[in-house]
Structure 1
Amino acid sequence: MRTISLGRTGEQVSALALGCMLMGTSTDEDTSFGILDRYLGAGGTFLDTADCYAWWTSPDATGGESEALLGRWFARTGRRDEVFLATKGSAWVRDPSAVREGRSAATEQYAGAGGDTLRHALDASLRRLGVDHVDLYYVHVDDLGTPLEETLSALADLVAAGKTRYIGWSNVQTWRLERIRQLCDRNGWPAPVALQQEHSYLRRHPAARTVSVVDDEQLRYLRAHDDLTLVAYSPILKGVYDDPVKRQEHHVMDSYRGADSDARLAVIAKLAADLGVTGSQLALAWVLHQRDPGRVTLIGPRTPAQYDSSMAALAIDLDDSVLAELDAAGA
């Protein structure tokens, strides 16, 4: 398992991180434990979860299931000190049933990034995880309704208290990142060391309004600030590289549809066939090969077969000619 530097922290983390979003809900406990054991057995160290995972998976789910499962796995194995553990706050949904029944949007239910909210949220996460600290704590969804000074001061307190070693941000625009960094510098607060955004081989359509997908501006910003490492979530975009129906119907494509993505999907299909791999594996391998800026690739397998397929991307060596063909594709 290759490792990369996490910003300028001195930490080396797995280039392929294991997302635990569906563990404890869509993925049952025995299967989840098996995947976790196999990931650490393969040299992996970076586990990613959140307090809201995964309320949307069933009528009985409320959030916290993933963290609670990891807590049981830590208790069973005693392997907490072998992993770099990340969780997130601010996207806890207060009334999942209202969202599932269409009476409310999830964004209207988010707990937000108020100071007291984050303090209570991290304490609850630590209880579910059965640990005294996490290594990385993200603001899961950027909260424009709370002053950044309030959020950052609370996060600084959590670092000072030893409840998290580092902080990160997710689903955030570049101008906000710069504002966050300026405030941290001005006030002596710990600055984010990780930026978790949706990132794959397909490029965001210029007209897409989402703040969650990395665009060219954000990549340029990351190149200029090597103290901030990109953690790329949804690198296979729910499997669209191998599923024509999903490419037509899944909402994940809303940010990507257009001639540019059509051209890049065609090249992925051609080269995957030439290399004898799946389109998803090739897309994962492309992200893993990126160095400017360096990035962590985050997978979230639901089944052992999905885990095996994703891990196989580590063994795919893309030579310069293949990378050049992939990078040149587009409208």
Structure 2
Amino acid sequence: MIDTIPLGRTGERVSSLALGCMLMGTATGEAESFEILERYHADGGRFLDTADCYAWWVRDGDTGGESEALLGRWMARTGRRDDVFLATKGGAWVADPAAVRAGRAAAAEQYAGAGAATLRHALDGSLRRLGVEHVDLYYVHVDDLRTPLEETLEALAGLVAAGKTRHIGWSNVPTWRLERIRQLCARHGWPAPVALQQEHSYLRRHPRSDKYAIVDGEQLRYLRAHDDLTLVAYSPMLKGAYDDPEKRRAHDVFRAYAGADSDARLAAAGKLAAELGVTASQVALAWLRQQDDPRRVTLVGPRTLGQYDSAAASLGVELTPDMLAELDAAGA
């Protein structure tokens, strides 16, 4: 069964394995999505993660919001709104998905951003699609350097005061910006983020990669010093890269990791997986689950029921101290 960990210093606990619903309603059809949600719920999971932009890139005609709308239908059918911890995000909606899919524009150039009016409008849209009066956690999806942080934080404080979200979080943000955010919240008495959603896995980012959305050693040290922030680790299996060399060659997500250090860590995970009779992805998930300095939520986003079952099976993989030490020692 899925256990829980503290959410910052809020006094509440959340599922240590969160269910990413990014592809539900697009790549994953409604019937299979509902089955994944039911299976996750039966396993004791209660932390659902989505965003207003999910998932405009999957099919022609998709514009974002499909995942939220599907979750709204599931909660209406099951009556489980009060039984889940519901998180969504705003700021990464794109104005012209067709242009991005066709290669005529870059997604980052079209992000809606974190302006006050934008976030207020975005959350209202999310609540409407979800069919709820509030969410439990609302993230700024992508760090927006064009908008003053004071404007964003004041708007988020207003959303909390209005009862539209209980907590706020940030995603895809470097540590220096996170500290600036926290300082401004303390100065003005605004609600501070309680969750940090970043890309994080057993593999480590290549030193020459400038992808700041990946957790690095500095950010882990920061989180150890600030236990009011809970790390939510997305892409923990790196899109299948642990188990499939072709995915390592073909998928963009692996480019930030490729190198001798990752080769050594992949070999260590693969060796241990063979000894345990599991997959290397399951070893990576087990490694994440057993980290306690700091504790972290592992966010999995399965496309199929089989992928969910494989991820859930990692809950039964217990790594001994010697195994953890062997994994941690691997690297260039």
The answer to whether TM tops 0.5 is yes
Q: Secondary structure at the match of 1:185?
A: helix
Higher deviation after alignment, 112-121 or 242-251: 242-251
Q: Distance in 2 between matches of 1:149 and 1:97?
A: 33
Q: Distance in 2 between matches of 1:81 and 1:108?
A: 37
Q: Distance in 2 between matches of 1:313 and 1:9?
A: 28
The residue that corresponds to 2:30 in the other structure is: 29
Q: Distance in 2 between matches of 1:307 and 1:187?
A: 42
Q: Distance in 2 between matches of 1:140 and 1:175?
A: 17
The residue that corresponds to 2:80 in the other structure is: 79
Aligned residues: 331
Q: Distance in 1 between matches of 2:40 and 2:82?
A: 15
How far off its partner does 1:58 sit? 0.6
The residue that corresponds to 2:123 in the other structure is: 122
Q: Does 1:262 align with 2:263?
A: yes
The 4+ residue runs of structure 1 with deviation greater than 2 A are: none
Q: Distance in 1 between matches of 2:249 and 2:43?
A: 35
Gaps of 5+ in 2: none
The residue that corresponds to 2:176 in the other structure is: 175
The residue that corresponds to 2:226 in the other structure is: 225
The residue that corresponds to 2:71 in the other structure is: 70
Q: Distance in 2 between matches of 1:247 and 1:125?
A: 34
Q: Distance in 1 between matches of 2:251 and 2:118?
A: 33
Q: Distance in 1 between matches of 2:73 and 2:42?
A: 18
The residue that corresponds to 1:91 in the other structure is: 92
Q: Distance in 2 between matches of 1:11 and 1:26?
A: 33
Q: Distance in 1 between matches of 2:317 and 2:40?
A: 18
Q: Which amino acid aligns with 2:244?
A: D
**Structural mapping, 1:138-177, within 5 Å:** 138-177=139-178
| RMSD between superposed Cα atoms in Å | 0.5
How far off its partner does 1:96 sit? 0.1
Quick one: percent identity of the two aligned structures? Answer: 76
Q: Which amino acid aligns with 1:177?
A: L
The residue that corresponds to 2:216 in the other structure is: 215
The residue that corresponds to 2:14 in the other structure is: 13
Q: Secondary structure at the match of 2:68?
A: helix
How far off its partner does 1:246 sit? 1.1
Q: Which amino acid aligns with 1:164?
A: T
Q: Distance in 2 between matches of 1:249 and 1:120?
A: 37
Q: Which amino acid aligns with 1:213?
A: I
Q: Distance in 2 between matches of 1:230 and 1:11?
A: 15
How far off its partner does 1:249 sit? 2.3
Gaps of 5+ in 1: none
Q: Distance in 2 between matches of 1:279 and 1:223?
A: 27
Q: TM-score, normalised by structure 2?
A: 0.99
Alignment deviations for residues 173-202 of structure 1 (CA, whole Å, 9 cap, x no partner): 000000000000000000000000000000
Q: Secondary structure at the match of 1:57?
A: coil
Q: Distance in 1 between matches of 2:3 and 2:73?
A: 28
Q: Secondary structure at the match of 1:232?
A: strand
Q: Which amino acid aligns with 1:288?
A: R
Q: TM-score, normalised by structure 1?
A: 0.99
The residue that corresponds to 1:293 in the other structure is: 294
